[in-house]
Amino acid sequence: MSLWCERLVTASGTRERVRIEVDAEGMVASITADTDVRPDDISLGTVLPGVGNAHSHAFHRVLRGRTHADGGDFWVWRRQMYEAAGRLDPENYHELARAVFAEMLTAGYTAVGEFHYAHHRPDGSRYAAHDMEEAISAAAADVGIRLTLLDTAYLQGGIGQPLSPEQQRFGDDSAERYLERWSELRGRIPRLGAALHSVRALTPDEISRIVAGLPGDVPVHIHLSEQPAENEASLATYGATPTELLAERGVLSPRLSAVHATHLTDRDIELLGGAGVSVVMCPTTEADLGDGIGPARALKDAGATLALGSDQNAVVDAMLEMRALEMQDRLASGARGRFSPAEALHAAGSGGYRSLGWAQGPLEPGGPADLIEVRTDSLRTVGADPEQLIFAATASDLTRVFVGGRVVVTDGVLASGEEPAQLLARGLGAFSR
């Protein structure tokens, strides 16, 4: 199979009249510029690499448009999120996740890391099988998005606190029980990663045992320093910041993705960058929840690889998420252009895929043939330089989305003919019943 595009814009530059050869596994076999279209090519216009959504909680989508009017902070919002989590079951979660993943595809996300912790029934009792995890996996397969399921360990309600009633369905009793359940899942889920919820939800010993018990090639994610209260509790109990604690336990490495990393010390930044970790920034969520603006530029300069995530899915738009990385840095620094368009594209594409365990990024030789086609003549994009399209376009400007060289979305409609808005209406309706 071969794709031909008038223009290919990647983090490494812009090439004209490009043919992308795709092998039988949906990977890029070759990329050739300055070549004419052939009759058997699939012909496209301006193309960007697909975007890896490195941090998602699909069920948070039910809170969009329902939690913004009454003030509060992250901790107030969390109570509303727990109420939503308590109403999930395998059937309504499959319907909801399928709709959310469809929305992601239309918004330019071709891969997603689902940070999943609603494992059990609301009272903490086990399903007969891995029903919740299977529901998420099937939902992704149904619509054609690449899924890395980040199965999450969540063993305490806060530092030194038992799980609350609302958190019972997240827990696995012990690090050993979590590893046992994770190992059972590995034969069932095509791409299985792991996650440590946070230093609030696991003791240092549990963190060490879980990381040591996971295969070395498995990506590991963790929420890190999203709120000052987490740092304060960690310092008071352990005498170390969350980042320092992870460093002491030998957890910092290139396979680790630290999500948010908003409230860091200079030493934290040095440790994360020096270890070559991925840092998943979630700009629209961090703004929506009032978390703060993380030191993305300093982390990248220190050696971290940046990635992006939609997190709570209050906004699902890969273009807006890329743009927000730079816009929030402008607000924090008072300077424009500290992230180039190429750096934002790298974070969204190769950075996101690296975080999800891919050795090569989208549209790299040997990497996934995942791409998005962007209109250059819309009300928003007409006149924009190709390299700066991400600062002009929105998800509304995506015409076709390809995963593995095959079209999965055309003009906002799935290849199956389904409309994501209708899927969302059904998914939200199923959740409400």
SS (H, E, C) 212-237: HHCCCCCCEEEEECCCHHHHHHHHHH
Cβ atoms of 419 and 408 closer than 8 Å: no
pTM for the predicted model, two decimal places? 0.97
Q: What is the pLDDT along the chain (433 residues), one digit of tens a residue?
A: 999 999 999 999 999 999 999 999 999 999 999 999 999 999 999 999 999 999 999 999 999 988 877 777 887 888 888 998 999 999 999 999 999 999 999 999 999 999 999 999 999 999 989 999 999 999 999 999 999 999 999 999 999 999 999 999 999 999 999 999 999 999 999 999 999 999 999 999 999 999 999 999 999 999 999 999 999 999 999 999 999 999 999 999 999 999 999 999 999 999 999 999 999 999 999 999 999 999 999 999 999 999 999 999 999 999 999 999 999 999 999 999 999 999 999 999 999 999 999 999 999 999 999 999 999 999 999 999 999 999 999 999 999 999 999 999 999 999 999 999 999 999 998 887 7
Specify the pLDDT at position 76.
82
Q: 């490195």: which residue's tokens?
A: 54
Catalytically active residues are 260, 311
Interhelix angle 90-106/420-432, nearest 10 degrees: 150
d(CA 310, CA 322): 10
Residue type, 353: Y
A 10 A CB-CB count for 68 gives 11
Distances (CA, A) of 220 to 183, 223, 242, 255: 14, 11, 16, 6
Specify the pLDDT at position 66.
83
Q: Phi, psi (5° rounding) for residue 288? A: -60, -40
Specify the pLDDT at position 430.
82
Classified as helix, coil or strand, 134 is helix
CA angle 328, 114, 216 (to 5 degrees): 100
